[in-house]
């Protein structure tokens, strides 16, 4: 038995916001009362802390199989727990990609051997992510995939994507779109504008993203599938997402913390940690996204955790691999927005828990008696400095090194088991 | 401004020259004035001064280059430095040793200068951060080529007297030109006016924010300009679909005899080379007395001597010591 004492419980989905004690037993929340005293229970003193429904990161890269030097399912799960996440979804662009049921099964088996963070694999849309032949969605779903995505690429052939969406709808699978018109992005490495011109880096216009957002929304309406837009980076994409939602389409969207903080002007240093795909956009885009997480256009925030080794980052900008090792900074960056007054605490918790659950159509974690004790405890006032050398992920690639943030996940519980605690 | 015989430490407080962006107007003029003193050395019988005696220079070229590499080599030799050439291709580096490893290996050999040309933007800045040697950017990707801009400014000043208010038209593939970028930045700093000319496909996004005019009409620019700088058209741009044919490009943006009629009598024609005859420039134009392409090449040596001298050699020695 575990007794969490003196915390503030906040569960936006169930309109809970109160100070209470919580008793956890055999993996479940068994009692919530003003004051609980149980002899023999382990006690977690959580005065001035906030107990939240467990956070879910629906966009991560665990690199296994194939690139275990960057991350393994085990190290990724460890990092997830330290970052405050009780469940994560992992993208299929491993080597080989998760484009068949046995790779899905392998990932599920490895995940069972890890720390207990729930791993939800995402399958590829096409074999080898080549955009040609559909994968066996039914068989892969039976092994554990919860969505399909070609993350890192768009399926450029609209005819094939339409069939993929229809086949996904047949099996009630969510389609997650990485939106990039590869003919437009070409060899580009940064956002198009005055800064790409000044720094002499090949440009990617925002249109490379929003054209595909529009196309995929249109195709999802035709195919009748659920669609989720991954890592929205540009203000123009938000226009299409708002319109889709207004039409009542089953379209959701995420953004990543870096798009809420960083912009293309920062690339003057050619710091490869700032290289991401889609690229960092203008300051106006950052402001538009900050508004969109508040007004509901964006349903959740995902880290797009993309660990790399230094060999892929300590090179010239053009050939550096894109991505940020973000799973251990994501929650801190979101909570920091609460302290900056950008979003409310409730909204932040929603974007990290109920929001992603809704996107994936899985039961949300909840702070009610009888629920599984999947819990993230945060300290909204804790000041800390991002130090990649202390990451549990193998990836130390972050542009946030040295950032002073306010707000941090301090404990993570899955099924009542403490996977991480600073308390 | 007059340059004292001995350049004191702190007057040119740079370890490296990676961009025109990093230089102040005053520093640009300091380089040009120093270069004018070095130019005379190249006209002597004995073309050598001991300014950089005992210093080691590495020419590190990851892209093919004849003129720039040779120009740097001669400049270093006329300053009595020891220079070695390393040529490679960026693709070989992608496959094998990283730039970081190459740089650290070379640094163990204790060079004083590393001159780098590389096909990726930002690589000179990156190198300057990982080595203690002075890094000179001889062209990084689409970004900058500062010594080219400095020799261009030197040539303009030589022929036109002053740079302030000078009307400079840069014609051609601005989007892929580090020469254009460095010139735009340099010309802005010395308060010259710049007009960029080319089809929209070769004009990069938002460049008007760099304080330049943009025109799609060569004739307009030719009538306006005191200096016309033609840029080389890389034939690979054709396969990227940036213009339909060489023929039509040349028709619209090639500098030919007909167009020369509109050029001011005292204007000058420049080109960073190598030239594509009958693509961006016709043979009659190359032969025109207003064409100063070879003078640019000559001035390149003086300017590069000046930069080498100001960066490191100047700390202890004077030009004639």
Cβ of A198 within 8 Å of Cβ of B120? The answer is no
Any A CB within 8 A of B94 CB: yes
Distance CA A221, CA A216 (A): 8
Q: What percent of chain A has pLDDT over 90?
A: 100
pLDDT in tens, A5-25: 999 999 999 999 999 999 999
Of A88-92, A230-234, B51-55, which range is least confident? Answer: B51-55
Q: What is the pLDDT of residue A178?
A: 98
pLDDT in tens, B7-20: 445 678 999 999 99
> Which single residue is written with the structure tokens 């007794």?
A3
Which residues from chain A sit within 8 angstroms of residue B204, using beta carbons? 196-197, 203
pLDDT score for B182: 98
Q: In the prediction, which pLDDT does A413 show?
A: 98
On the question of a common fold for B2-145+299-320 and B146-293, the answer reads yes
pLDDT of A375-401, one tens digit each? 999 999 999 999 999 999 999 999 999
At residue B93, the pLDDT reads 56
- How many Cβ atoms from other residues are within 10 Å of residue B141's Cβ? 25
Contact B98 A196 (CB under 8 A): no
Active site includes A304?
yes
Q: What's the pLDDT score for residue A382?
A: 98
Bridge-based pairing of strands A16-25 and A28-33 is antiparallel
* Integer CA distances (angstroms), B241 to A102, A336, B201, in order: 44, 46, 9
For an interface test with B, give the residue of A188, A197, A265 to mutate (most B CBs within 10 A). A197
Q: Any idea which of A185-194, B2-11, B209-218 has the lowest mean pLDDT?
A: B2-11
H or E element: which one contains A51?
Answer: strand A50-53
Helix (H, G, I), strand (E, B) or coil at A295: helix
Pair of tokens at residue B48? 């050598």
Q: Is there a contact between B100 and A318 if contact means CB atoms under 8 Å apart?
A: no
- Partner residue opposite A318 with nearest CB, options B100, B121, B206: B121
Mean pLDDT to the nearest integer, A186-195: 97
Q: Cβ–Cβ of A315/B140 closer than 8 Å?
A: no
Residues of B in contact with A201 (CB under 8 A): 121-122, 141-143
Annotated domain spans of chain A: 2-50+370-421, 55-360
Q: Is A196–B126 a contact, with Cβ atoms under 8 angstroms apart?
A: no
Nearest to B126 among A193, A196, A270 (CB): A270
| Torsion angles phi and psi, residue A395, rounded to 5 | -85, 125
Sign of CA dihedral B271, B275, B277, B283: positive
**Average pLDDT of the residues in B21-40:** 96
- B2-145+299-320: CATH number: 3.40.50.1370
pLDDT of residue B95: 62
Q: So where are chain B's domains?
A: 2-145+299-320, 146-293
What number is the average pLDDT over the span A174-184? Answer: 98
Banded model confidence at residue B94, pLDDT cuts 50, 70, 90: low
ipTM over 0.85: yes
- Which residue of the set A236, A304, A372, A379 is catalytic? A304
Length of chain B: 321
Chain A residues in contact with B178 by the CB 8 A cut-off are: 200
Type and span of the H or E element at A407: strand A404-414
Between CA A316 and CA B123 the distance in angstroms is 6
**Gap between the Cα atoms of B285 and B303, Å rounded:** 26
pLDDT at B239: 79
Q: How far is CA A356 from CA A347, A369, A408, in A?
A: 12, 22, 19
* B262-318 pLDDT tens trace: 999 999 999 999 999 999 999 999 999 999 999 999 999 999 999 999 997 545 444
Q: What is the CA angle A217-A220-A221, rounded to 5?
A: 90
Answer yes or no: do A193 and B143 touch at CB < 8 A: no
Q: Is B173 on the interface with A (CB under 8 A)?
A: no
Nearest chain B Cα distance for residue A313, angstroms:
11
Mean pLDDT over the full length of chain A: 97
How many residue contacts between A and B have a Cβ separation below 8 Å? 66
Interface-testing mutation among B183, B200, B206, B211, with chain A (most A C-beta atoms within 10 A) = B206
pLDDT in tens, A269-322: 999 999 999 999 999 999 999 999 999 999 999 999 999 999 999 999 999 999
Average pLDDT of span B246-259: 95
Q: Decide if B207 and A197 are in contact by the 8 Å CB cutoff.
A: yes
Q: In terms of CA atoms, which chain A residue is nearest residue B144?
A: A200
Which residues of chain A approach chain B closer than 8 Å at the C-beta?
192-194, 196-203, 205, 269-270, 311, 314-319
CATH of B146-293, one of 1.10.3720.10, 3.40.50.1370, 2.170.150.20, 2.40.110.10: 3.40.50.1370
**Closest Cα of chain A to B137: distance in Å?**
14
Burial of residue A339, with CB atoms counted within 10 A of its CB: 0-12 exposed, 13-18 middle, 19 or more buried: middle
Q: Which CATH architecture has domain A55-360?
A: Alpha-Beta Barrel (3.20)
3-state secondary structure B164-221: CCCEEEEECCCCCCHHHHHHHHHHHHCCCEEEEECCHHHCCCCHHHHCCEEECCHHHH
Q: What is the mean pLDDT of residues A142-162?
A: 97
Any idea which fold A2-50+370-421 has? Urease, subunit C; domain 1 (2.30.40)
């Amino acid at each position: 038995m575990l007794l969490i004492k003196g915390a503030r419980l906040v569960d936006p989905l169930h309109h809970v916001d109160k100070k209470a004690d919580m008793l956890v037993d055999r993996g479940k929340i068994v009692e919530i009362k003003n004051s609980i005293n149980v002899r023999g229970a382990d006690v977690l003193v959580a005065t001035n802390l906030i107990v939240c429904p467990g956070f879910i990161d629906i966009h991560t890269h665990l690199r296994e199989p194939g690139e275990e030097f960057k991350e393994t399912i085990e190290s990724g799960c460890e990092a997830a727990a330290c970052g405050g996440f009780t469940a994560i979804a992992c993208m299929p662009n491993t080597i080989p990609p998760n484009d068949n049921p046995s790779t899905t099964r392998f990932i599920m088996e490895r995940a069972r051997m890890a720390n207990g963070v729930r791993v939800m694999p995402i399958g590829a849309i096409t074999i080898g992510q080549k955009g040609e032949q559909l994968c066996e969605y039914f068989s892969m779903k039976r092994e554990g995939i919860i969505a399909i995505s070609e993350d890192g690429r768009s399926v450029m052939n609209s005819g094939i994507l339409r069939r993929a969406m229809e086949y996904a709808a047949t099996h009630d699978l969510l389609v997650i779109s990485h939106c990039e018109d590869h003919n437009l992005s070409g060899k580009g490495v940064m956002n198009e504008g005055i800064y790409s011109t000044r720094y002499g880096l090949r440009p990617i216009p925002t249109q490379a993203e929003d054209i595909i957002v529009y196309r995929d929304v249109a195709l999802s309406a035709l195919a009748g599938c659920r669609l989720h837009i991954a890592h929205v980076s540009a203000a123009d994409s938000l226009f299409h997402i708002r319109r889709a939602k207004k039409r009542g389409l089953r379209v959701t969207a995420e953004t990543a913390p870096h798009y809420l903080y960083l912009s293309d002007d920062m690339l003057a240093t050619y710091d490869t940690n700032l290289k991401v795909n889609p690229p960092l956009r203008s300051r106006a885009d950052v402001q538009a996204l900050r508004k969109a997480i508040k007004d509901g256009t964006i349903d959740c925030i995902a880290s797009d955790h993309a660990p790399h080794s230094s060999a892929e980052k300590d090179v010239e900008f053009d050939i550096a691999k894109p991505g940020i090792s973000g799973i251990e900074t994501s929650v801190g960056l979101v909570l920091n927005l609460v302290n900056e007054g950008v979003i409310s605490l409730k909204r932040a918790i929603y974007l990290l828990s109920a929001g992603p659950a809704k996107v994936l159509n899985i039961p949300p974690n909840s702070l009610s008696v009888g629920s599984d004790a999947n819990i993230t405890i945060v300290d909204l006032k804790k000041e800390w400095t991002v130090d990649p050398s202390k990451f549990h992920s193998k990836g130390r690639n972050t542009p946030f090194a040295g950032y002073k943030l306010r707000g941090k996940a301090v404990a993570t519980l899955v099924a009542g088991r403490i996977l991480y605690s600073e308390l | 401004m007059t340059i004292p015989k001995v350049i004191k430490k702190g007057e040119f407080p740079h370890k490296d020259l990676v961009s025109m962006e990093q230089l102040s107007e005053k520093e640009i003029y300091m380089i040009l004035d120093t270069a004018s003193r070095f130019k005379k050395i190249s006209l002597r019988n004995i073309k050598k001064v001991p300014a950089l005696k005992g210093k080691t220079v590495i020419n590190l070229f990851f892209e093919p280059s004849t003129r720039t590499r040779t120009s740097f080599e001669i400049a270093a030799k006329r300053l009595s430095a020891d220079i070695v050439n390393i040529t490679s291709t960026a693709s070989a580096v992608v496959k094998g040793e990283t730039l970081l490893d190459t740089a650290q290996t070379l640094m163990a050999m204790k060079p004083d200068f590393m001159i780098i040309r590389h096909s990726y933007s930002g690589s000179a800045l990156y190198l300057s951060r990982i080595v203690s040697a002075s890094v000179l950017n001889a062209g990084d990707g689409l970004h900058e080529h500062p010594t080219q801009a400095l020799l261009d400014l030197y040539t303009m000043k030589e022929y036109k007297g002053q740079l302030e208010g000078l009307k400079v038209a840069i014609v051609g593939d601005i989007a892929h030109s580090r020469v254009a970028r460095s010139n735009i930045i340099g010309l802005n700093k010395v308060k010259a006016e710049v007009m960029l000319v080319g089809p929209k496909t070769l004009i990069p996004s938002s460049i008007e924010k760099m304080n330049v005019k943009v025109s799609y009409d060569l004739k307009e620019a030719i009538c306006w300009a005191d200096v016309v700088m033609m840029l080389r058209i890389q034939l690979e741009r054709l396969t990227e679909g940036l213009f339909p044919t060489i023929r039509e490009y040349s028709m619209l943006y090639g500098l030919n005899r007909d167009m020369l009629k509109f050029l001011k009598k005292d204007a000058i024609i420049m080109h960073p080379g190598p030239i594509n005859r009958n693509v961006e420039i016709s043979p009659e134009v190359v032969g025109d007395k207003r064409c100063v392409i070879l003078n640019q090449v000559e001035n390149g040596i003086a300017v590069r001597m000046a930069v080498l001298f100001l960066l490191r050699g100047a700390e202890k020695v004077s030009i004639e010591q």
